[in-house]
Structure 1
């Protein structure tokens, strides 16, 4: 049990966070995507504490965060040319690349896989913490496993109080959904395993051969091994039962009128979507970028409202919208009604 402290992002706080990480503890750290639960990626005992704090399944791999490109060389046995091209264009930034791991990365960090996902965050505080430690940091999202990811230090505290010693607060995350995750197939193909702010169109600036893994929008078998976090389990979910309604606004409103009851709450793009329906609602944004930034906070708001049954408007499946859709269908346990 810890008396969890929320630290600011001053140089002194960064030093304190680095001291805790060097001693094998777990610290909540900010990134531009969501807050992460960080530990020394090469320290098996420290990484084990991440899984314990989150209640995370052991076969769900962790992403390793670096502060400069040179750190990648000790983590992998091969760097594909496409990976270098992607790093030059998108790092620092919300892109995770999966490559064959070196012995420096223990199996507990990689979820039992021979590969490891690596990214260089654009959040300056995150990179300062990594640099102050002098080693790469493994950091999944800093929430209880399965619940909505945290986009503020307060979200982390709500889930992790008494579980970790400290959280570094650098304000709200600017992007709001986890990083895009890719791997490489052959010399000229990229496979998208988890969509994020770096979109399919962005990746096509590197190569036209971008394959969207079926696990992005479909259920992955329970016994399947997955290379990316967030592919396999019901994930990002509030306590309420969410059903996504895919169709026009008129069709959405008609379905709600015919199927709602006193336990119904709406998850909508803007307040006009809910006008005249007489039901409580939560707004998560009218553009892809707003929805990405607000989604997890909105799912947490549903818990605050003690929502029981939620009818959610379906986001776009293009650009950043694909990332929002990917998270929302997992929060809904793949309950989608096409109107």
Structure 2
């Protein structure tokens, strides 16, 4: 069932559902999440079961504001606090040392916890309503509301198509950011970027004065985190990444019998008459705009019946890192 997330009655119904141990389709600025109360182990177990997600793959705990951190994290390093001050509410998840009693079912058996304060007004309203309940729900675990490994949802309709009418879904419109949050590990004395997103390495460095390391630079004791498996975010069609020259060369080899293709490109391409099986779609010219529509576009390609999706590799710059990460993982799934 889809409810209008702008209505207070819908927000209150959503908070009550979470308190009762039910699952909820929750809009955030990044993607829609499949939400449950973080401290309700049975409810969190339903998330893993519904998604088909491995139990050791941790979930992110969403909180209404920074005051809730003390219920989940036992310490916050100075640089992490600077990132909170700069980017919360917003699309940034911080991995922090976990209090022993907190969110056990959501953390995959680790002694760390991922915390995020979303900026979407509907998500914020639900989290504030949860805090005011008796007993309160202080945190909400909410991985992307899709079957594990598949394309993340950025509209309420996407969520309903994944889980059907039995799931309560709040409609908060299309997600503004469109890809999942940036994840920074703050458990090892320096910021380590585990998953890129709309908040870039440059943004992080400006906020805390430290250039985040890549997980490859500090591989020992790297926490497991959401969305960091090699293969993820995959449509039904096989995804191939190519530069513009490779795309053009591949186009030139197509025949009328070639598989049905969708091409997502930034550079001009010459389409030969033999490429009748291909449909071309222009990628936005900037990273934020591409991120906003990326997952919806991949879903649309599946709806068109594409058997393969050829995508022009985005630029190798900090602002495109989040998009590149999602596309590389989608291609690895094939």
TM-score by length of 1: 0.88
**Partner SS state of residue 13, structure 1:** helix
**Tell me, which stretches of 5 or more residues in structure 2 are unaligned?**
132-137
Contact 2:127 2:140 in 1 (8 A): yes
SS at match of 2:183: strand
**What residue number does 2:134 align with?**
none
Give me the whole-angstrom Cα distance separating, in 2, the residues matched to 1:57 and 1:283.
36
1:99 paired with 2:101, answer no
Aligned to 1:80: 77
Cα shift readout 1:3-22 (whole Å, capped 9, x = no counterpart):
x3444321110001011011
User: Which runs of 5 or more residues in structure 1 are unaligned?
Assistant: none
In the TM superposition, 1:152-167 aligns within 5 A as 152-162=155-165, 164=167, 166-167=168-169
CA drift at 1:309? 1.9
Q: How many angstroms apart in 2 are the aligned matches of 1:320 and 1:243? A: 21
1:185/1:25 CA distance change after superposition, 3 Å:
closer
Structure-1 residue corresponding to 2:304: 305
Q: TM-score, normalised by structure 2?
A: 0.90
Distance of 1:275 and 1:152 partners within structure 2: 33
Q: 1:66 to 1:8 in 2, by over 3 A?
A: closer
Determine if contact 1:266/1:274 at 8 Å carries over to the other structure. Answer: no
Aligned counterpart, 1:173: 175
Aligned to 1:144: 147
How far has the Cα of 1:212 moved from its partner?
1.6
Cα distance in 2 for partners of 1:334, 1:314 equals 16
Q: Does 1:64 align with 2:61?
A: yes
| Offset of residue 106 of structure 1 | 3.4
User: 2:186 aligns to what?
Assistant: 184
What is the Cα deviation at residue 124 of structure 1?
Answer: 1.3
CA distance in 2: counterparts of 1:9 and 1:252, whole angstroms: 44
Alignment-derived partner of residue 128 in structure 1? 125
Matches of 1:62 and 1:141, distance apart in 2:
9
> Is the CA contact (8 Å cut-off) linking 2:39 and 2:104 kept in structure 1?
no
1:252 aligns with 2:247: yes
Q: Report if the CA contact (8 A) 2:195-2:322 is conserved.
A: yes
Structure 2 residue aligned with 1:201: 202
Rounded to whole Å, the distance in 2 between the matches of 1:178 and 1:295 is: 11
- Which of 18, 22, 26 aligns to 1:21? It is 18
- CA spacing shift, 1:225–1:49, aligned 2, 3 Å: farther
Give secondary structure in 2 for the equivalent of 1:280.
strand
Distance 1:91 1:273, change over 3 A: farther
Number of matched residues? 321
Aligned-pair RMSD on alpha carbons? Answer: 2.2
Counterpart Cα distance in 2 of 1:266 and 1:214: 33
